[in-house]
Structure 1
C-alpha cells in the first residue's frame, strides 16, 4: 500500500473528553497515552492542530458544578506552558493551523445540563454559559442532551422532542455564533430543533460533532439520512466517531464505509473527524471492551491510518477536506 505523501496533513478533531479525564480521574496526566487516546503526546504525534474539548455533565444534581470543574481545567491547560493553546478567534485559528508544534483547543458543551440543573431558573443557565465564554474565550457548540431526557428535550435513548426550555435556549443562541450539536439528540429533538430554527428564522449553525451514519450501522447514536441531509444543506459538519459501538462491533473497516457513505450522500464538504476519545478504565460494562479497534485507539496513529487507507479511493482534495479543511472553513465562517 502506498504511503501518504509528506508533509503530514494537519488534523482538526471535533470532540474528545480529555477535560472529563483530567477533572475526574485521580493522578490524571495529559501525557498518559496509555490511559486516554487524546493524551498530549498522541495529539502531537497525530499532527492534531485543533482539538475540541467537551465539557460533559450527566443530567442530575451537581451537573453544573461538574461542568465548572472542567471549565476551570480548560483554563488551566491554556495558562500552563505546555502544548495546548486556547483558540478563540479566526486569526488564532489560522495561526494554530500553521504552527509546527502544539495543539490548539476550543471548548464545547456536551449536555446542556452542565449549564442548568433540572429545577433551576433557566436564566441561571444563561449566566453560566456567559461565564464559560468569559473564562474559556469561546464555546464552539452545545449539545442539548446526552443519552437521556433533560429539561431541554430527549437524548439519543429517548423519543422525546424539544421542550419549552429547549426552544428558549435556541432563541438565546440566535446570532451568538455557537453551533447546536445533533450527536446526542433523539430523532424527534433533532427535527424539532430544525423546525424551530426555521420557524423563528434563527441564525444558528448545525453540526453532528461525533456521529456516524445509521444506514451503515444501525445505532441510535448514528444519523438517519434525513438529519444528515439537513446538516449538509445547512453547511454544517459531521464528525466521524471512532468508537467501535458506533462504527461496527466486528469490522474495523466499517469506519471507512461510513466515510464513503457520507461522500455518496453529498457530504464531501461536511465530513470531518470527531473521534470521541475518553477514559474508560473504570467502565463496568465488559461488553463494551474493546472500546476502539486497534487501528483507531489513539490519536497518534489513527488519523494517519485512515487517511492512508483512503488515499487510493479519494482525491488529495477530499483527503484535505476530511482531515482539516471542512472543519477549519466551518469554524472560520461562523467566527467571521
Structure 2
C-alpha cells in the first residue's frame, strides 16, 4: 500500500482457461478450484491478467478446434456479463485504463494447435489472441522446446511464422523455447519479444530458466522478462518463499534489466506454490514486501508499468 493506494499489477501468464474448459462447472468468479478468480484479481489489484490457451495435455494431437474451445470459454466465463474487459489493441493499454474490472488478454502457449497453418494464426489474431508462445517443452511444427534433447531451432515453416508475427503485430514469447530457437529468433525477429514466465538460471538451475546471455539479449532488445512463481524455477532445493523472488529480481536488475522486468505467475499451471504467493490476491502483500527493499518507482515498474509500456509500444493499433 502506498498511502491510501494499492499498486496495480499486470500478470503475463496463467493457465485458468484450461481448467475452466476441462471443468464446465467451475465458476470464474470465486471457485476455490482455481488460483485465478475474479475476486482474487480484485483483491490483488490486478489490472491485467494474460490467459494462456494451454494445449500440452494433447501434445502432438492438438487441433485448431482445441484453441477455439478455449477462446469460447474465455468469452463465456471470463469476459461475460460482469466479467473482465478484453484487451486487444494498443489504444486500450493506456495508463488510466486498467481499473476494475480487470482486463484479460489472450495468449497461445505452444503453436501445436495451429497445425502449421498460418491462416489459423490469422484467425487467432482476428479472434483476439495477441501473443504466441512458440513451443511448450517439446518439439512442434515450428521449433524445438527447451526439453527437446537435440536443441533444434526453427523449421522453415516456423521462420514463416516469425515473419507473419512481425508483420501482423502478434507478440512472440520464448518461454519454453529451446536455446537454439531463442538465438535464431533474436536474429530473425524485427520486433522485441518476451519471456512470459521464466526465471534466472544463475539463481536456480532449472532448464526452463534463462541464462545470463539470454537475459542480456532480451534486455538489449527491450523485450520483457516475466519472473514466475513456479517453486522449482525459484530455488533448487527446499520450499520456496516469496522472499526468494528477491534473488531473481536482484539478478535481472544487476544485468541492467530493471526496465524490462515484469511478472508471469503461472497460476493454475502448477500444483505447488511459492509460500505467500499462492494466488493473485496475494500480490498486494508481495508489493508491500518489495517496497521494503526498493524505491516505489522501481516496484511500480516491475508490477505494472514495464508490461503496460511494452503493450503500448508493441500491440497493433485498432486503426490498422
Provide TM-score, normalisation by structure 1: 0.86
Rounded to whole Å, the distance in 2 between the matches of 1:114 and 1:48 is 29
The 3-state SS of whatever aligns with 1:175 is: helix
Work out whether 1:220 is the aligned partner of 2:220: no
Runs of 4+ in 1 over 4 A off after TM superposition: none
Structure 1: 5+ residue runs without aligned partners?
117-121, 198-202, 281-288
Rounded to whole Å, the distance in 2 between the matches of 1:98 and 1:50 is 7
How does 1:15-34 map onto structure 2 within 5 Å?
15-34=13-32
Rounded to whole Å, the distance in 2 between the matches of 1:33 and 1:192 is 42
Cα-to-partner distance string for 1:315-334 (whole Å, 9 max, x where unaligned):
11001101100000000011
The 3-state SS of whatever aligns with 2:28 is: coil
1:286 aligns with none
Residues 4 and 307 of structure 1 are in contact (CA less than 8 Å); yes or no, is this contact kept in structure 2? no
Work out whether 1:183 is the aligned partner of 2:159: no
Q: CA RMSD in A?
A: 1.9
Rounded to whole Å, the distance in 2 between the matches of 1:192 and 1:88 is 27
Rounded to whole Å, the distance in 2 between the matches of 1:180 and 1:35 is 30
Q: When the two structures are aligned, how many residues end up with a matched partner?
A: 309
How does 1:57-72 map onto structure 2 within 5 Å?
57-58=55-56, 59-72=59-72
Work out whether 1:207 is the aligned partner of 2:205: no
Structure 2: 5+ residue runs without aligned partners?
none
Which residue of the other structure, out of 281, 292, 299, is the alignment partner of 1:300?
Answer: 281
Rounded to whole Å, the distance in 1 between the matches of 2:3 and 2:261 is 21
2:107 aligns with 108
Work out whether 1:332 is the aligned partner of 2:312: yes
2:52 aligns with 54
2:141 aligns with 151
Deviation at 1:260, TM superposition (A): 1.3
When residues 16 and 242 of structure 1 are mapped into structure 2, their CA distance, relative to the original with a 3 A threshold, is same
1:174 aligns with 166
Cα-to-partner distance string for 1:154-211 (whole Å, 9 max, x where unaligned):
11112222211211111222232222111111111111211233xxxxx332110011
Provide TM-score, normalisation by structure 2: 0.91
Residues 173 and 196 of structure 2 are in contact (CA less than 8 Å); yes or no, is this contact kept in structure 1? yes
Rounded to whole Å, the distance in 2 between the matches of 1:180 and 1:48 is 23
Deviation at 1:43, TM superposition (A): 0.7
Deviation at 1:293, TM superposition (A): 2.2
Rounded to whole Å, the distance in 2 between the matches of 1:321 and 1:79 is 26
Deviation at 1:296, TM superposition (A): 0.8
Rounded to whole Å, the distance in 2 between the matches of 1:222 and 1:327 is 20
Which residue of the other structure, out of 12, 15, 19, is the alignment partner of 1:14?
Answer: 12
2:184 aligns with 192
Work out whether 1:259 is the aligned partner of 2:249: yes
Work out whether 1:270 is the aligned partner of 2:269: no
Residues 14 and 50 of structure 2 are in contact (CA less than 8 Å); yes or no, is this contact kept in structure 1? yes
How does 1:271-290 map onto structure 2 within 5 Å?
271-278=261-268
